[in-house]
Amino acid sequence: MALIDASRAFGARFEIARAEELLEKLVREAGDRPGILVHAGQSYRMIFRPDKAIECFQRALAIKRDLPEALLELAVLYERRHRLSEAQASVEECLRSAPDYLEAALIKARLLRRSRDDAGSENILRALAANEQAHPMVRSQAWADIAQLLDRNADYEGAMSAMLKSKELLLPGEAQFKKESDTVVEILRRIAHEATQDTFQKWSQEARGLPARKVAVLASFPRSGTTLLEQVLDSHPGLVSSDERENFARDIFPAMWAGLTNREPTLALMGSVPISRLASLREKYLSSMASALNEPIGDRVHLDKNPSLTLMIPAFLRLFPEGRLIIALRDPRDVILSCFMQFLPLNTNSVCFLSLERAATRYAVDMGVWLQLRDKLSANWLEVRYEDAIENLEKEARRGLGFLGLDWDASVMGYRKRVAQKAVSSPTYEAVSKPLYKSSIGRWHHYERHFAPVLEKLKPFARAFGYESP
């Protein structure tokens, strides 16, 4: 247990090499004890080593087949890699071993939906949703999956009703996340508001003595098309992307100002960070990302794709003034609907998506910050609209690559083949593996009557980003 706990602690700090060293020792010590191998597999999954996780679960099952937890872990890992027949076999064996394993039933329903058995999927989901003995998180996911099924079959009122039931089950656990979210968002909003054009120019001048790094951020607001754009760009041989890693927000940013004050970060505090500390953290950031990727970054552009980094753009540019910003845009109303119509475990970001009104309020904060920042920054940013990418993906890919200083490479248009063989962290891992489709454009009109309370709040952004005439 000491090896397990220590490996997970190092992994959470993106010290992946140290975590792996401990897990290798753990696996050696495990011998033929399947329970230890299951713990090792779960730990490997947590530190971004899915292949080693699969190997551990398979090894445990070779010793003892009656391991429902290992079978479910395998099913989830296979499903995210679109290995659906293997996922189906694992979950069926899991349920034969443990018929009352409700989390496994949830995965089975998901697999049935992906195989176009909507009726079979819905039967399982409705049983889970109605089961008052089930954990609220399981019931919430079941209602959310029901909503997706109903939406796909054009029962939009039924879908909205199911989604509201999903959110109701999450509301009792929101208080602490909401409090933390409100505090952090206000701090970051204030820093961005106080920053000026002179601020960014001064930071750039201070960093002139540091070795320039090829770094970029792909940010915006969740469900704005960042995953599609990232997967296309990541198919270029001159670029490597990190998919929604929390390293910068959780570790690097606090380390920039920690010890300089006991208070919360401010713009003045950001400006007082010693250059020596910035130099060290720049290297730590890149080495941590390379460790999570399990490959060297080398001379490639590193793209940090994370929609939640929008409020942290000033902090990122303090660390990397030479960094490039790509901002994904999408009709704000479609964005808000998509954020709401999805199950996400409660955290400081997802707590803002428990209602359309709350999601719209958070969108106004994040994208309001972007509208302020883009007028203060030099030409190191590019906006890419989701709808334009759907209409002409090659054109938008060329724009993005050119902005990042990369020559055109036709291989990026074959991104779906690559996605089929890799793990995608984003909740949209399934959608991005499919051919491009236009059905998500203007989807909010199906729910238009529910948007009455938020349309005025979103209108300035729809106009600013070209989705509505002035």
pLDDT digits (tens, 9 = 90+) for 104-137: 999 999 999 999 999 999 999 999 999 999 999 9
The pLDDT score that the predictor gives to residue 432 is 52
CA separation, residue 157 to residues 118, 176, 338, 418 (Å): 18, 31, 15, 37
Q: Dihedral, CA atoms, 18, 22, 28, 33, nearest 10 degrees?
A: -140
Please report which helix (H) or strand (E) contains residue 226, including its range.
Answer: helix 226-234
CB 19 within 8 A of CB 46: no
Confidence of residue 344 (pLDDT cuts 50, 70, 90): very high
pTM of the model: 0.91
Domain boundaries, the chain: 175-464
Given a cut of 90, whether residue 459 has pLDDT beyond it is yes
DSSP at 241: E
Section 245-257 average pLDDT: 91
Section 27-40 average pLDDT: 92
Please report which helix (H) or strand (E) contains residue 216, including its range.
Answer: strand 215-219
* pLDDT tens, residue by residue, 255-290: 998 877 667 899 999 999 999 999 999 999 999 999
Q: Which residues touch 20 (CB under 8 Å, ≥6 apart)?
A: 7, 47, 49
- At 208, phi and psi to the nearest 5? -60, -30
What are the beta bridge partners of residue 324?
216
- Rounded Cα distance between 247 and 256, Å, is 13
Given a cut of 90, whether residue 427 has pLDDT beyond it is no
Section 341-345 average pLDDT: 93
Residue 381 tokens read as 């940013």
* pLDDT tens, residue by residue, 389-406: 999 999 999 999 999 999
- Percentage of the chain with pLDDT > 90? 87
Confidence of residue 418 (pLDDT cuts 50, 70, 90): confident
What are the beta bridge partners of residue 305?
218, 243
Section 426-434 average pLDDT: 55
DSSP at 250: I
Q: Is 302 helix (H, G, I), strand (E, B) or coil?
A: strand
Q: Which fold has domain 175-464?
A: Rossmann fold (3.40.50)
The better pLDDT of the pair 236, 418 is held by 236
- Rounded Cα distance between 316 and 206, Å, is 15
Confidence of residue 417 (pLDDT cuts 50, 70, 90): confident
End-to-end CA distance of the chain: 61
